Structure 1
Amino acid sequence: MTQNKVIAAVVGVGALALLVWGLSHMQADRTAGTTQTAAPAVAEAPSGPSAVPTFDVVRVSPDGTAVIAGRAMPGAAVTISDGDRELGTVTADKRGEWVLTPTQALTPGSRTLSLKMKTAEGTEVAADETVTLVVPDAKRDIAGRKQNETGGALAVVTPRQGGSRVLQSPVKTDKSLAVAIDTIDYNRAGAVTVGGDAPAKAEVQLYLDNTLVGHATADLQGRWSITPERLVDPGRYTLRVDQVGADGKVAARAEVTFERQPIADSDSRAVVVVAGNNLWTLARHLYGEGIQYTTIFDANQDQIRDPNLIYPGQIFILPTTAGPAGGGPAGAGGHH
């Protein structure tokens, strides 16, 4: 925060609906080969060519049928792999968008999806992100608990730098929330990255137990990510995000309780999912990074807090009167 914009007044002492249509139509389109479809333009979805291939959509229905989509360079051959097995290769269209509908249903279990492209010039480029995908067994949820119906799949994209992003949640999320926390990534050392949603270009502030630990501006898709400088020791914490309006007031507020309680290293499974109250904790081995933990929160009304309340440690942002001030809050994904 810049000195000409912020007064630190401490109070008190103390995924994307890009291709949902594909799930309802893909059964009729199954052929002996991989189906390739042009992605429709959706205003709120990421669009345009990408010099590095990316995942934008991973959707798996209860019967295992899937739609996987993303971006690459126009005309590039894009190959999607499930571990060491290729799911298929498709060609990015003139907008750099690609879509894969695998011809076989995905079997239950956990897997890592990777991505690479070969440009028209013959250059191969690997994605700098992977997707951890968990497909539940019949009449169970992703944590293996029995239930009357097959639960929803979980798809989480994790980049080499920055926080994870949920492409498919096991439960329906409330898209009406003005601001929400949906992921917390952390490792054994206690380095934490918190991510969530807010209106596009909205300014957000993150508090850990009423202490300001970072701020960011949501990107054009409404995604924000904050990596506090401090390490977080094991324990139970309250995380709060405030969306601050142009007038300097809190416009919307969300809060979750977070417990940093790592799963034992002795577990030999590559991916472990543990269910909690309105959350899931995902543990997996990332190459070169050791065990990575991600807590995924159900974005629902339980997160909402009164924006008019004044909290101990709350920081007030003064509205600017002479236009945008230089050196304002860093963009989403920055370290603060």
Structure 2
Amino acid sequence: MTQNRPVALSLLGFAVALAAVGLALSLSAEDERRVEVLPQPVSQMAQPSPERHTVMVEVVRIGERGDTVIAGRADSMADIQVELTGTAIGSVLADSRGEWVFVPTAPIPEGLQVLTLADKAGGPPSRVLTVISRHHGQPARTILVPPNDRLRVLSGSSRQDFAALALERTPTGSVTIAGRAEPGKGVQAWFGKGLAGRTQADPDGDWRLDLANSAEPLVRVESVDAKGKSQVRLDLPMPPPGQNGAPQSITVQGSLGWRVAFPDGRIVDVVDASAGR
């Protein structure tokens, strides 16, 4: 397990690692303005050590052309396998503090891709879903699916209402909807005529709704102004509860986007930016 160490040493070590990656990765100035970064890099957060053999992703940067940097924490000296949509693309060894940085040798392709990072010694993987559309000049949509928490849409994605939106259903039936919006923008969800949840985008533009199980076939998600008036509204089909042990699969959901089913029974719908407009 990663040992506790002085905060100053942790900050210095991680800063040096990221600086080295910055020199190795030749992102253009335009790409640098369009990178995906978690709201608070690991070097700025007091994080608990991950559970044994758990790989935690804490920094993701994806340029417009697919050039990528991923960094996080794991066990000390853990050997981490990295796959892209089912194909191994490399591995990375965590240092003595459990910190690691991975730079793929080739850009991430266009369309929906799934990056899976797992300790070769076993343990639950972390996953990063990316949607890159180079022809439209839009920031990559990036969704983090951590092993022990609900999904998150990462900062850096467009703040246009529902331009970056994902819906997850767990094997127990619970639902999480996450996205990006202008800071302070209200977001609410409905099952039928009943309000299921309400929240506001935080100062970074991130929002998330954790909802209880429901038998309703649709969930309505809408952004609202300061007076509570609906502005953008989407009716999304509820994915069925997943099944443990099923192979990973990606299916196109008509004009709504993609559905990804994982072997641990989690199902994630990545909603297309133009859905419902």
Same fold (TM over 0.5): yes
Structure 1 residue 88: Cα displacement? 2.4
1:210-229 superposed matches below 5 A: 211-214=194-197, 224-229=208-213
Counterpart position of 1:102: 104
Q: 2:176 aligns with which of 170, 193, 207?
A: 193
2:144–2:153 contact (8 Å) kept in structure 1: yes
Q: Secondary structure at the match of 2:26?
A: helix
Structure 1 residue 26: Cα displacement? 1.2
In 2, the alpha carbon distance for the partners of 1:233 and 1:224 equals 20
Q: 1:73 aligns with which of 66, 72, 75?
A: 75
Distance 1:232 1:296, change over 3 A: farther
2:143–2:166 contact (8 Å) kept in structure 1: no
For the aligned residues, what is the CA RMSD?
A: 5.1
CA radius of gyration, larger in: 1
Aligned length: 231
Q: Secondary structure at the match of 1:57?
A: strand
2:257 partner amino acid: T
Q: Is 1:49 the counterpart of 2:29 in the alignment?
A: no
2:69–2:103 contact (8 Å) kept in structure 1: yes
Structure 1 residue 50: Cα displacement? 1.4
Counterpart position of 1:27: 26
With structure 2 as the length reference, what TM-score do the two structures score?
0.57
With structure 1 as the length reference, what TM-score do the two structures score?
0.49
2:118–2:125 contact (8 Å) kept in structure 1: no
Structure 1 residue 53: Cα displacement? 1.1
Per-residue CA deviations over 1:43-87 (Å, capped at 9, x if unaligned) read 3x5745312212223322233311011221233333322223132
Distance 1:287 1:193, change over 3 A: same
Higher relative contact order (CA 8 A, sep 6+): 1
Distance 1:152 1:23, change over 3 A: farther
Q: 2:260 aligns with which of 268, 284, 300?
A: 284
In 1, the alpha carbon distance for the partners of 2:171 and 2:273 equals 20
In 2, the alpha carbon distance for the partners of 1:46 and 1:183 equals 27
Distance 1:207 1:26, change over 3 A: closer
In 2, the alpha carbon distance for the partners of 1:73 and 1:292 equals 27
Structure 1 residue 207: Cα displacement? 4.8
Q: 2:87 aligns with which of 84, 89, 93?
A: 84
Distance 1:189 1:127, change over 3 A: closer
Distance 1:50 1:288, change over 3 A: closer
- Structure 1: which 5+ runs fail to align? 1-18, 29-39, 119-123, 140-148, 199-203, 243-249, 264-268, 299-336
2:26 partner amino acid: Q
- Structure 2: which 5+ runs fail to align? 1-17, 28-40, 240-247
